[in-house]
Structure 1
Amino acid sequence: MADPGYASTLPGAEAAAGLVMSTLAADINALGRAANSIENDAYAIQARYDPRRSWAVSEVRDREGRLEAAKVSSARTMLPPAEEASSLFAAAHSGGGVLPVSGAPRKPPYPPAVVNALALAALAALGYAGENARANTDALQFDRVSQGCLGMSKLNLFQCLAASRPNYEDMFCLGRHVVRDLATCSRGAAMPAPIVTVSDVTPADPPPRTAEPIIITPVPPPAGPARAPEPIVVTPASPPPSATPVPTPTPSITERLNTQPGRSPAG
């Protein structure tokens, strides 16, 4: 089929998509509840009062053989029971339906698994979904998203089984990587992606605050008896010392003779 999405535009596609997604949601939710039960029980059997504790804490028998058996089983093709397959095949060709399902119409866009399911239903209604059209039907049953998710789940299961020692760990591996992963992978491929609303960007750090001056008010001293002001004693500065007269030296005899009147200096 060149364009599987064309079936999503046909009349009645929205009602059919609602039935497909409602049926898948019921199965996915049932798998989720089963996974919760198994995982919770893996913890409960470790309690001292639980009669299964002795088995829970004992080591897994033939761990290597059990891991190898799990790998072999995972490679086998799992077919539905013949009676169930025949009933579904008849319902697909008659258009009457045999499953007690109901669901509100769903508008596109649809997940790839739902698009392929609508295309298969359209081919069956036209009579082109039998053994003579295996090329078309096989291609529509392949979903790349589911294959990648289930392939990773299988690897996680093998690693979990290889690392488990007591039986309660082995039990937890089955609940987590067989039942829960099957529900998770199915939900991712067949259910619409949740709508994520992104709010405005909020800075992680608050804006810097402006430093405000800190005003310190001195604490007034405790009240006490009034004190009279003390007089301020001003000491006058000492006057500068008076100059001591330098004594005039006594003239010598020669100076006295030279200073006598009427006597020439050459004398």
Structure 2
Amino acid sequence: MNSIRTIGAIVIAMGMALGASAQEGQPEEKKTGDAISKSAAVYATYQSEVTDVKTKPLGSAGDIDNALNSLGGHNPDQLSQGWISYSALIASQDAEYRAAVRDIADFYGRDAMMNGLANDVRYARTLSGGDNAVSAALAATEADSRRLSSAAAFVKEQAYSLQASGWAKAKIGNSGAKATTLDKIQKAGIPASQPLVNAFSAADIDGVLVQAGVPGAPSLWDNVSGAASAVRFPVAVTSGLKLNRKRVKYGKEPIADQIATLAAFRVMGAEAATPAQMSSAMSERETRGCMNMANLNLQQCVAAANQQYEVPFCIGEHALADVGKCIGGVYQ
């Protein structure tokens, strides 16, 4: 307890000073709602579309177009923020970390704690349980990254098997127009599915998230489909798991720090952070840039395609495998 308070005193004292000067003369910002859960639902929506394409082979040109737009149409800002938010939700389940955040908030006050978190993104991960909390998030990321790699292989294989189908050998026509349409969808982004928004806002979601962060557990999304009328999360798995703790890859510490900061915001409560503080913690340049490059490569691949069966390769390589690499580059 004393060590927690000692660490907290340094950063929070600085945060109080900086926060006070920044707030002078500024109108009070309206507190955000459950922005973390809503953002995570965007990532969940993408993963639900992955489930659909993994469980139903492409059977027509329409199926290919639907897969292209639903998997490749996500906005990189929104999708990267969704992944960070989902990671933070999992990190926020660590009991030791939750206790440390609440202990300091109770001792120094919520406003001082929030200022400390906002003014030093490295601070949150130094709290007791911070590394373990982030490790749980990285365990879930590893499962998701492997899932995307598997889905990519399944879709790309169809670029070869579909060559035996007459409809798949048909000329695309104006592939440049298809790429332009995709670009417009990407700029707008795909909104979160309402059932998934509801699921992530439900009172019992924490029990699901705890299991998702167990090392060796399967991806949370394997039973979550965009076509389903209701969300079915997998049954908790507690045995037969490889308990290898995930570590942050060298050079990726800033991403881990943001996950821990956003997790602390979540522990503090939906009304603790302002919209500006939430946005800052969610926005991560490296992952966003990686996903943006995946989108650009997807557009170029589609624009160069001549026949229908060529497009599944583009989807598998850039809308699935590349995204898996973007999130998978954080852990080791």
Report the TM-score when normalising by structure 2: 0.50
1:152 aligns with 2:152: no
SS at match of 2:189: coil
1:150 and 1:163 mapped to 2: Cα distance? 20
Structure scoring higher RCO (CA < 8 A, sep ≥ 6) equals 2
1:63 aligns with 2:204: no
- Report the identity percentage: 27
The two structures, once aligned, show a CA RMSD in angstroms of 2.5
Q: Hey, what does 2:256 align to over in structure 1?
A: 114
Report the TM-score when normalising by structure 1: 0.61
SS at match of 1:79: coil
Gaps in structure 2 of 5+ consecutive residues: 1-117, 216-242
2:273 and 2:138 mapped to 1: Cα distance? 28
Q: Could you give the per-residue CA deviations for residues 61-110 of structure 1, whole angstroms, max 9, x where no partner exists? A: 4423322211111111333223323443456xx89442322135556676
Q: Could you give the per-residue CA deviations for residues 99-133 of structure 1, whole angstroms, max 9, x where no partner exists? A: 32213555667643332111111111122x44862
Measured after TM superposition, the shift of residue 136 of structure 1 is 1.1
Q: Hey, what does 1:142 align to over in structure 2?
A: 283
1:171 aligns with 2:288: no
SS at match of 2:153: helix
Gaps in structure 1 of 5+ consecutive residues: 193-267
Amino acid at match of 2:208: V
SS at match of 1:191: coil
Kindly indicate whether the alpha-carbon contact (under 8 Å) linking 1:35 and 1:175 is maintained by their aligned counterparts in 2: yes
Kindly indicate whether the alpha-carbon contact (under 8 Å) linking 2:172 and 2:307 is maintained by their aligned counterparts in 1: yes
Kindly indicate whether the alpha-carbon contact (under 8 Å) linking 2:179 and 2:300 is maintained by their aligned counterparts in 1: no
Q: Hey, what does 1:217 align to over in structure 2?
A: none
2:208 and 2:305 mapped to 1: Cα distance? 43
Larger radius of gyration: 1
Structure 1 pair 131–16 and aligned structure 2 pair: CA distance change class (3 A): closer
1:115 and 1:161 mapped to 2: Cα distance? 36
1:66 and 1:75 mapped to 2: Cα distance? 15
Q: Pick from 22, 35, 41 the counterpart of residue 139 of structure 2.
A: 22
Amino acid at match of 2:331: M
Q: Looking at secondary structure, tell me which structure has more helix per residue.
A: 2
2:132 and 2:303 mapped to 1: Cα distance? 46
Q: Hey, what does 2:55 align to over in structure 1?
A: none
SS at match of 2:278: helix
1:141 and 1:181 mapped to 2: Cα distance? 21
Structure 1 pair 131–41 and aligned structure 2 pair: CA distance change class (3 A): farther
1:42 aligns with 2:42: no
Q: How does 1:1-267 map to 2 (within 5 A)?
A: 1-46=118-163, 50=164, 52=165, 54-90=166-202, 96-99=206-209, 100-101=211-212, 102-103=214-215, 105-106=245-246, 111-127=253-269, 129-130=270-271, 133-188=274-329, 190-192=330-332
Amino acid at match of 2:256: V
1:114 and 1:90 mapped to 2: Cα distance? 26
Greater Cα shift, 109-118 or 176-185: 109-118
Kindly indicate whether the alpha-carbon contact (under 8 Å) linking 1:14 and 1:106 is maintained by their aligned counterparts in 2: no
| Count of aligned pairs between the two proteins | 183
Kindly indicate whether the alpha-carbon contact (under 8 Å) linking 1:35 and 1:180 is maintained by their aligned counterparts in 2: yes
1:66 and 1:22 mapped to 2: Cα distance? 37
Kindly indicate whether the alpha-carbon contact (under 8 Å) linking 1:88 and 1:98 is maintained by their aligned counterparts in 2: no
Greater Cα shift, 36-45 or 130-139: 130-139
Q: Could you give the per-residue CA deviations for residues 199-249 of structure 1, whole angstroms, max 9, x where no partner exists? A: xxxxxxxxxxxxxxxxxxxxxxxxxxxxxxxxxxxxxxxxxxxxxxxxxxx
Structure 1 pair 6–90 and aligned structure 2 pair: CA distance change class (3 A): farther
Kindly indicate whether the alpha-carbon contact (under 8 Å) linking 1:13 and 1:118 is maintained by their aligned counterparts in 2: yes
2:162 and 2:304 mapped to 1: Cα distance? 19
Kindly indicate whether the alpha-carbon contact (under 8 Å) linking 1:124 and 1:130 is maintained by their aligned counterparts in 2: no
Q: Could you give the per-residue CA deviations for residues 41-64 of structure 1, whole angstroms, max 9, x where no partner exists? A: 111222xxx4x2x12221114423
